[in-house]
Each structure stands twice: as structure tokens, then as C-alpha cells.
Amino acid sequence: MMKHLGTQVLTTERLILRPFTMADAQAVYHNWANDSEVTKYLTWPTHESIAISQAVLADWVARYSEPTWYQWAIVPNAVGEPIGSISVVHMDEKVDSVHIGYCIGKKWWGQGITTEALGALIRFFFEEVKANRIDSRHDPRNPGSGKVMMHCGMKYEGTMRQADRNNQGLCDYMAYAILASEYPNR
């Protein structure tokens, strides 16, 4: 049984993962949410205005009091403001499982930042929340996302054909997961 703790501040060598605040609206909008290249394979639409980013943040911030709400701003120490987000987008309490989704601004792609953030969440969910399974998925046309999952020790479980819909329409998805029994520190 998972022991929910809500969105805790997590730190890594280069990052602070923290709850969003309303003051992050400019960074959310300018650093990734308004970029159609970033949102190309995501399930939420590109933000057309900062007002949309503000509305999304208002919803997120209002939910931080819920112990099952997990939504982090990815803040590199060298940047000092959010450059992306990482969150639990689905949870299955019957099998103590969390499904993680993430995105960062393209200026920071290929630097290992998302891998570092996902690694921190894997550690948090196995060591603190006591999850049994952590999974994620990506559109096959976005292989960089799958590399993040593999670098974090997640195993490829298969491709579900035309089982999802994203900003490109109906799509396949490639599924990855790691189990608590496979986690390195066990």
C-alpha cells in the first residue's frame, strides 16, 4: 500500500524539483508550454497565451494540499526558474502503481535533465511512497523520451497500436516500467 506524501521538494546534483507557484506562469509559458515542437507528441494543447498557463497553474496550485497530487516544476540550479514539468498523470492503487509524464523546453533537450528528474521521482516513489511499479510511455516518433526511460532503468514492455491520442491524432505508444524489486537500492 502506497504512503502518499504529496509533492515534496526533491533535489539532485543539478536540479530542484518543487511545487509550482503562480509566479511561475511566465516561465511555464515562455520556456515550454507555448512551443508546438515541445507539445507535438503530448496530450495537452500548446498554450496560445499566458492566460492559459495561469489557468493551468491555478488548478495545480489549488491541488497541492491533496496527498495524492504529484506535480513538480523542473528547476535547474543554473537557470533558477522552471524549464519543464514532471508529474503523476495516472495512479492505480490496486497495484501500487504510478504513471509518470514529463516535458521540458527544447533549449534543454539532450542534457540529461529529464533523466535526472525522472531518476529522482523513481527514487522518491520507491523509497518514500512505497510504490511497487512506476511506468511511462511515449509516441514511437519521439524516441528521445524512450531513451530517458531506459537510462532510468525502465524496461520496454511493448507497443500498443493506435491505443492513444496526442496532438498528432491517433497514435501508438511504447510502454516502459520499473518494479520495486528491480530498483537498484533494494
Domain regions of the chain by residue span: 10-134
Give, in words, the CATH class of 10-134: alpha beta
pLDDT of the residue at 185: 63
On the question of pLDDT at 57 being above 90, the answer is yes
Residue from 122, 111, 118 nearest 138 by CA: 118
Which residues are CB-contacts of 111 (< 8 A; sequence separation ≥ 6)? Answer: none
Using CA atoms of 16, 21, 26, 29 in order, give the dihedral in degrees to the nearest 10: 80
Grid coordinates standing for 160? 500498443
Gap between the Cα atoms of 149 and 92, Å rounded: 20
Closest C-alpha among 143, 182, 137 to residue 164: 137
Give the C-alpha distances (Å, rounded to integers) separating 138 from 16, 53, 62: 24, 23, 28
Give the pLDDT confidence of 127-164 residue by residue, as tens digits: 999 999 999 999 999 999 999 999 999 999 999 999 99
Q: What is the mean pLDDT of residues 85-110?
A: 98
pLDDT at 74: 98
How is residue 69 written as a grid cell? 497530487
Give the list of residues 6+ apart from residue 55 with CB closer than 8 angstroms, or none.
none
pTM above 0.85, yes or no: yes
Model confidence band, residue 184 (pLDDT cutoffs 50, 70, 90) = confident
Phi then psi for residue 149, to 5 deg, are -60, -45
- Determine the pLDDT at residue 52: 98
